[in-house]
Structure 1
Amino acid sequence: MIKILTLTLCIFYSGSIIANANKPEQSSESHSAATQQASNKEKQRGFLYGMGIAFNQEIYQGYNKRIIPIPFIGYQGEKLKVLGPFISYDIASSDNATIAVIVAPTFKGFDESDSDVFIGMKKRSSSVAAGIGLRYNWHNWKANIANTHDILSKSNGHIITASLARTFNKGPIFIEPSLTLTYQDSNYVDYYYGVKQHEQLASRVAYTGQSALNTSLGLSISTPIFFNGFTRLSTQYTRYDSSITNSPLVDEEASLSVTLLFSRFF
């Protein structure tokens, strides 16, 4: 099985932030200039490419961590944004808010070769989710809500994600702490963390997953100063709902992921 990783690629707009790299501190006037530069950069269109590496801790038993290279190619247009398998198309917008159709892979799943705890269990497959997202920007605040559903009928799961972030900048360095709440319905949780009656063993009891609400704290540091592109280092700590951590397949209550990405327009 191809090793898969739970991560969120947050660089649809990685080419859209730019600032004055020559001044370590900014007055209100220079800050306004940097904001205007960022606005102009956000209008850049065209194809982009990038590469990265991701580290992720797993909460499944015996399936501790993975390090995965991330090559990608994408496109940023006025309404259409593509980053590898992640697609977003804006269908309505105002000065601060945008509604978009979104399509994204669900990087989840396992088979028997991934860990001894999965021996005798049916493979759980990754899938593709699609739905509607709302983005709202106000000054340096960003709010996002996404409502998606498994369109390949692997889990038939439903996911709602809400996040709030605040951007701070020090010259050309941008720091963004964030808080994310993720609701996963019972179909999703039962598919990826449940154990069917015919899959139970003495060491692995049957388990029916219920809906979950997970909480994540994130921090990203990004800059446009390297190689005429955009570099982003992100880390995210996720605390899982008890309906997930009570699964006999799970032996951790939280996970940590770290992703380093570089992107550049052709």
Structure 2
Amino acid sequence: MSIRFSPRTPLTCAALLMLPLLAHGQQSATTEPVADSGSSSQWALGAGVGVERSPYAGYGNRTRALPLLMYNGPRFRLLGTTADLKLGAVGPVGFSLRAQYADEGYEGSDAPILNGMEKRKGGFWLGGAALWRNPYADLSLEWLADASGNSHGQTVKLRAEHRFKSGRFTLVPYLGVNWMSSDYVDYYFGVRSNEVRAGRAFYQGSSTANLVGGLRTDWQMTSSQSLFLDLRVTRFGSGITDSPLVDRSSAAGVRAGYLYHF
């Protein structure tokens, strides 16, 4: 599967997507803050673990375990490594400024195909997000740019999900498209001239898009305790699969954790 965009696509896509959202929201033209928790604040502490198949040849699975801190208030929201400053809402559409840390890099010793490659670092990302809640599917749009200057890349993520609730269980199937700029793809999946060797040709990454689908479930054990499980599959775009560092077209992942709500 090949999905390609021109360099101007992220801004154009974002503008086209936001126009119908704003037009819909201007019918009621409210400026209330995005506040899932109303005027009160909610806290939660817990722990989570994630296992995901790496696209790099011979890398195997990436496993991460970390403590979880969640806060949701009228103006600010924090979940793990993502923080949002809520700007307000226009009708059913909420807007926020977003800061995020993403550990997406690798070391040359992580896999044989990466031996001799220069280290690729994770980074801090800054941008904005919008969420349109409606009876059919919640639509979210996110644009982020690499503020740490490692990749100089940009990403745009569009996702649709629908929530089904039955007793203490909540099921949320979702489907999305994650676009990555050529700078992003080149930094994480490109091969520089000084990194070329037998079996690893020079490669300059191009912008691409991944398809992501999955199912998230939450179990409210008690009024203050919950468990979550997130299963997902990512279909990589051609800008990634064409890289000599990559040996698969898709990868599955699972995340699970526990939260105690205050």
| TM-score for both structures, normalised by structure 1 | 0.81
1:16-35 superposed Cα distances (whole Å, 9 cap, x missing partner): xxxxxxxxxxxxxxxxxxxx
1:194 shift after superposition: 0.1
Measured in 2, the distance between the counterparts of 1:159 and 1:236 equals 19
2:51 corresponding residue in structure 1: 55
Deviation of 1:264 after TM superposition, in Å, equals 2.1
TM-score (norm 2): 0.82
Structure 2 unaligned segments of length 5 or more: list them. Answer: 1-34
Deviations 1:142-174 (A, max 9, x none): 110001100000000010000000111222211
Q: Which residue identity lines up with residue 152 of structure 1 in the other structure?
A: S
Q: Deviation at 1:231?
A: 1.8
Cα deviation, residue 95, structure 1: 4.2
Q: Counterpart of 1:257?
A: 253
Residue among 121, 130, 149 paired with 1:134: 130
Letter in 1 for 2:119: K
User: Per the alignment, in what secondary structure is the counterpart of residue 133 of structure 2?
Assistant: strand
Tell me, in whole angstroms, the C-alpha distance in 1 between the residues paired with 2:64 and 2:120. Answer: 20
Which residue of 172, 175, 178 corresponds with 1:176? 172
User: Quick check: 1:197 aligned with 2:182?
Assistant: no
The aligned counterpart of 2:16 is none
Alignment of 1:104-119 (within 5 A): 104-119=100-115
CA distance in 2, matches of 1:41, 1:198: 52
For the residues of structure 2 that align with 1:200 and 1:61, how far apart are their CA atoms?
A: 16
Q: CA RMSD in A?
A: 1.8
Code of the aligned partner of 1:215 = L
1:236 counterpart = 2:232? yes
Q: Which region of structure 1 is more displaced relative to structure 2, 219-228 or 107-116? A: 219-228
CA shift for structure 1 position 113: 1.5
Secondary structure of residue in 2 paired with 1:244:
helix
- Percent identity over the alignment is 25
1:207 to 200, 203, 209: 203
Please name the residue that 1:167 is paired with. Answer: 163
Secondary structure at 1:109 match in 2: coil
**Distance between the aligned counterparts of 1:133 and 1:41, measured in 2?**
18
Q: Does 1:98 align with 2:105?
A: no
Alpha-carbon offset, residue 44 of structure 1: 4.7
- Shift of the alpha carbon at 1:112? 1.3
Matched, 1:74 2:70: yes
Structure 1 unaligned regions, length at least 5: 1-38
* CA distance in structure 1 between the aligned counterparts of 2:185 and 2:220, rounded to whole angstroms: 39
2:194 is paired with a residue whose SS is helix
Taking the aligned partners of 1:57 and 1:219, their CA distance within structure 2 comes to 17
CA shift at 1:68, angstroms? 2.2
| Contact preservation (8 Å) 2:37, 2:72 | no
Q: Which amino acid aligns with 2:109?
A: S
Q: How far apart in 2 are the matches of 1:87 and 1:213?
A: 24
Shift of 1:228: 2.2
2:184 is aligned, of 175, 188, 198, to 188
Structure 1, 149-158 or 79-88: larger mean CA deviation? 79-88
Structure 1 position 140, deviation (Å): 5.7
User: What whole-Å deviation, never above 9, does each CA across 1:58-111 have from its counterpart, x for those lacking one?
Assistant: 110111103322212232211101123210111121442100001111221111
